[in-house]
Amino acid sequence: MNPERRILLGRVIGALGVKGELRLESWTSPRDALFRYKPWILVHRGEETGISGAKGKLNPNGSITARLPGIDSRDAAEALVGAEIWILRSQLPPAKPGEFYWVDLEGLKVATVEGVPLGSVSHLFNNGANDVLVVAGDRERYLPYTPDVVREVDPEGGRMVVDWDPDF
């Protein structure tokens, strides 16, 4: 694990009202957990800005709105549309035993229980039914991240063992 690795948590998707309120897209779970992580690194048009003091909420309609220090007009809010919200990996609390952050799985070497190398974890996504590992090697494979497939995860050792047919 690289504690200085950055994690993308969300982005600014719009302005709301005339006093600088922002509409955000969040990829945290729950979605308003975005506000638990401070400070933010706002990346926009090649520039980075550290943001402390972001406040916001999850609205009844499911949208997320926020206020940032120094953003007090609609024009200032609109100028931030498209900005990405990042944090450092070290800002995340420790994972529970047997659980892993997706970011810590990315890059792990993946091999079958028989020792056949499949490649490395490129990324993960949720398809609605379960989490899916994308393993990039001689070709791209999509493996369900379930206990019957993922048999061993060793982030410190940089590896993962899966019960998977390499020809599938």
Q: Where are the domains of the chain?
A: 6-90, 102-162
Q: Do domains 6-90 and 102-162 have the same CATH topology?
A: no
As a whole number, mean pLDDT of residues 24-48 equals: 94
pLDDT value at 2 more than 80? no
Antiparallel, parallel or unpaired: β 64-67 and 109-112: unpaired
User: Residue with structure tokens 């997706």?
Assistant: 102
pLDDT value at 3 more than 90? no
For residue 103, what is the enclosing H or E element? Answer: helix 102-105
| 2, 38, 136 from 107: Cα distances, Å | 11, 26, 10
| 86-136 tens-digit pLDDT | 999 999 989 999 899 999 999 999 999 999 999 999 999 999 899 999 999
Q: What pLDDT score was predicted for residue 18?
A: 96
What gap in Å lies between CA 119 and CA 109, rounded to an integer?
Answer: 6
As a whole number, mean pLDDT of residues 57-79 equals: 95
Looking at every residue in the chain, the average pLDDT score rounds to 94
pLDDT value at 54 more than 90? yes
Other Cβ atoms less than 10 A from the Cβ of 57: the count is 12
| 94-104 tens-digit pLDDT | 999 989 999 99
6-90 architecture in CATH?
Answer: Beta Barrel (2.40)
Start-to-end CA distance of the chain, whole Å, equals: 30
pLDDT value at 139 more than 90? yes
As a whole number, mean pLDDT of residues 3-13 equals: 90
As a whole number, mean pLDDT of residues 66-93 equals: 96
Q: What pLDDT score was predicted for residue 109?
A: 98
102-162: CATH superfamily: PRC-barrel domain (2.30.30.240)
